[in-house]
């Protein structure tokens, strides 16, 4: 165990050093010369101090992201190798009911991973506050962490209980039945998330500016969105960043604006942002995301099953996992899920960036106001201290949206072509 711990910490140190060298010295996020003086040139819409803060903030956040990735893997490995998985299972099985046993086991696993994450998450929070992006108090931040932990505990208990039950009853086909059950669960979650989960973190209320609401609903009606009202959310209590989104399905479909967006953008800029979000609905991105999630879950579970069987055959005895249908196997499965999610991230990000660009194109064609569009993205860059042209690896792994360079150059090209 000591040898494993030394190797694990040594690898993490070397990895962290390599990441820091790449972010600070091996990557180039400067604006290409050809775009100097364009709408994407941050020197035209940011002060020298804002440019300095943006570079520092982006570099620190990128390092935090990369340092955070292997912590989950290390946590699951430690649980398996140090025998914690078997200990957690013994404590859980002192209770009578299977669902209670599952909840106890998931609680210990989740708590262990949460503790591993906590120092770097606190540092990330403090960095965001120090750079003026976050405005949330420490007490409020811890409250959100606790709510997230409890929500994940409930969801994970249901998921893990289902998987362990199917591992017992259908050893070879458990992953097929898990996938089939995941479909209605995913749809159910998408339907109720806007009205049950989201309000746990923030207050949602009908948009106070009735004139703006009328114009947004007019855009929605023109695009065929069956929305009856626009919601405002009090994000200014937590951040200076801006955002808006369309979420939910069926009768729970919602158009949501952060109050920071309303405070910092002009009306025409807000309308462009909303046209972008409406574009996601019109282009069926919500449905495509749902179908993509269902498809990726199928392949992910299939690969996970193969990797799990291989791992058990190779290391099962050493890890004292004597049965496939036991709680002790769950950390191995969660480790596999996490690794597969990481490997698939660049692909899912490419798809997401394509959808975002489609929504940008829809919004500019709908509003025909490139100046407002450019102004909105420049304001978003300033408020979030975003990197206009992030390093390539960072873009692959972190960016679900096109870079601000790509978005602003696209909008400027549209403006030039329309003149």
The residues spanned by each domain of the chain are 125-201+284-418
Residue with tokens 């090209």: 413
Residue 290 vs residues 251, 255, 296, 377, 399: alpha-carbon distances, Å: 17, 18, 10, 27, 19
pLDDT over 70 for what percent of the chain? Answer: 99
Partnered with residue 255 across adjacent β-strands are 230, 246
- Across the chain, mean pLDDT equals 91
Catalytic residue among 232, 259, 269, 360: 360
Quick one: pLDDT band at residue 391, thresholds 50, 70, 90?
very high
pLDDT over 90 for what percent of the chain? Answer: 71
3-state SS, residue 135: coil
Residue 412 vs residues 40, 123, 245, 282, 374: alpha-carbon distances, Å: 9, 38, 24, 24, 7
Q: Is the pLDDT of residue 376 over 80?
A: yes
Instruction: Let me know: does 386 contact 50? Beta carbons within 8 Å.
Output: no
Partnered with residue 257 across adjacent β-strands are 232, 244
Which tens digit of pLDDT belongs to each residue from 153-183? 999 999 999 999 999 888 789 999 999 999 9
Which tens digit of pLDDT belongs to each residue from 125-148? 999 999 999 999 999 999 999 999
- Residues 382, 47: Cα–Cα separation, whole Å: 9
**Which of 121, 138, 90 is CA-nearest to residue 238?**
138
Average pLDDT over residues 345-367: 95
Quick one: pLDDT band at residue 323, thresholds 50, 70, 90?
confident
Please count the other Cβ atoms lying within 10 Å of the Cβ belonging to residue 414: 18
Catalytic residue among 277, 369, 387, 406: 277
User: Which CB contacts under 8 angstroms, 24+ apart, belong to 172-179?
Assistant: 174/305, 175/301, 175/302, 175/304, 175/305, 176/301, 178/301, 179/297, 179/298, 179/301
**89 belongs to the catalytic site:** no
Binding residues for Zn(2+): 276, 280, 356
pLDDT at res. 402: 95
Who wins on pLDDT, 219 or 400? 400
Q: Is the pLDDT of residue 228 over 80?
A: no
**360 belongs to the catalytic site:** yes
| All residues at 6 or more sequence positions from 361 whose CB lies less than 8 Å from its CB, including other chains | 279, 410
Which tens digit of pLDDT belongs to each residue from 53-77? 999 999 999 999 999 999 999 999 9
End-to-end CA distance of the chain: 69
Quick one: pLDDT band at residue 419, thresholds 50, 70, 90?
low
Average pLDDT over residues 22-35: 89
Q: Is the pLDDT of residue 104 over 90?
A: yes
């Amino acid at each position: 165990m000591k040898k494993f711990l030394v190797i694990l910490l040594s690898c993490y140190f070397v990895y962290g050093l390599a990441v820091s060298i790449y972010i600070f010295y091996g990557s180039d996020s400067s604006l290409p010369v050809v775009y100097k003086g364009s709408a994407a040139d941050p020197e035209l819409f940011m002060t020298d101090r804002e440019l300095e803060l943006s570079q520092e903030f982006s570099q620190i956040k990128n390092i935090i992201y990369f340092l955070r990735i292997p912590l989950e893997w290390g946590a699951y490995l430690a649980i398996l190798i140090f025998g914690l998985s078997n200990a957690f299972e013994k404590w859980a099985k002192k209770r009578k009911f299977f669902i209670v046993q599952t909840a106890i086991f998931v609680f210990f696993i989740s708590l262990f991973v949460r503790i591993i994450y906590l120092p770097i998450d606190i540092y990330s929070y403090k960095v965001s506050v120090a750079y003026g992006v976050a405005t949330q108090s420490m007490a409020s931040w811890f409250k959100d962490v606790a709510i997230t932990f409890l929500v994940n505990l409930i969801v994970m208990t249901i998921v893990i209980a289902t998987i362990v039950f199917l591992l017992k009853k259908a050893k070879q086909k458990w992953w097929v039945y898990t996938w089939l059950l995941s479909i209605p669960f995913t749809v159910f979650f998408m339907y109720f998330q806007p009205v049950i989960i989201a309000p746990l973190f923030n207050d949602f209320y009908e948009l106070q500016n009735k004139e703006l609401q009328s114009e947004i609903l007019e855009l929605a009606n023109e695009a065929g969105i069956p929305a009856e009202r626009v919601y405002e959310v009090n994000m200014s209590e937590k951040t200076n960043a801006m955002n808006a989104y369309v979420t939910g399905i069926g009768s729970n479909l919602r158009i949501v604006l952060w109050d920071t967006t309303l405070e910092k953008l002009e009306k025409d800029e807000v309308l462009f942002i909303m046209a972008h979000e409406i574009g996601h609905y019109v282009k069926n991105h919500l449905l495509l995301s749902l179908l993509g999630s269902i498809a990726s879950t199928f392949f992910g579970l299939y690969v996970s099953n193969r990797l799990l069987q291989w791992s058990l055959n190779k290391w099962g005895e050493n890890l004292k996992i004597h049965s496939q249908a036991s709680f002790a196997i769950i950390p191995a499965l969660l480790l596999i899920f996490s690794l597969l999610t990481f490997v698939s991230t660049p692909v899912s990000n490419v798809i997401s960036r394509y959808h975002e660009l489609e929504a940008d194109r829809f919004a500019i064609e709908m509003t025909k106001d490139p100046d407002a569009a450019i102004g909105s993205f420049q304001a978003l860059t300033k408020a979030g201290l975003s990197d206009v042209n992030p390093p390539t690896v960072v873009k692959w792994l972190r960016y679900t949206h096109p870079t601000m360079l790509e978005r602003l150059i696209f909008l400027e090209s549209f403006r030039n072509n329309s003149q």
